[in-house]
Amino acid sequence: MPRQPRLHLPGALYHVMSRGIERRTIFRSDHDRTDFLERLAAGLSRIGYRCYAWTLMPNHFHLLLRSSETP
């Protein structure tokens, strides 16, 4: 069953996390982590969100994001 759409609250803080399938490794090298952070920065810039904190673990990541004023 699909989840309900997230509510967009202008300027709200969101904790976002994602884990590899069956807890498998998703970051195998420093290059993988750097590539992820570069893509994240580009995506956040495009939608106007800000990232205040992150942690990249071998099999998952956590982000603390502030939403923009527009959905």
**Quick one: pLDDT at residue 7?**
81
Other beta carbons less than 10 A from residue 56's beta carbon? 16
Average pLDDT over residues 12-28: 95
- Whole-angstrom Cα distance, residue 33 to residue 54? 11
Q: Using CA atoms, how far apart are residues 25 and 12, in angstroms rounded to an integer?
A: 30
pTM over 0.75: yes
Based on C-alpha coordinates, what's the Rg of the chain? 13
- Residue 5 has a pLDDT of 81
How confident is the model over 24-71, as pLDDT tens digits?
Answer: 999 999 999 999 999 999 999 999 999 999 999 999 999 999 999 877
* Cα–Cα distance, 18 to 53 (Å, whole number): 15
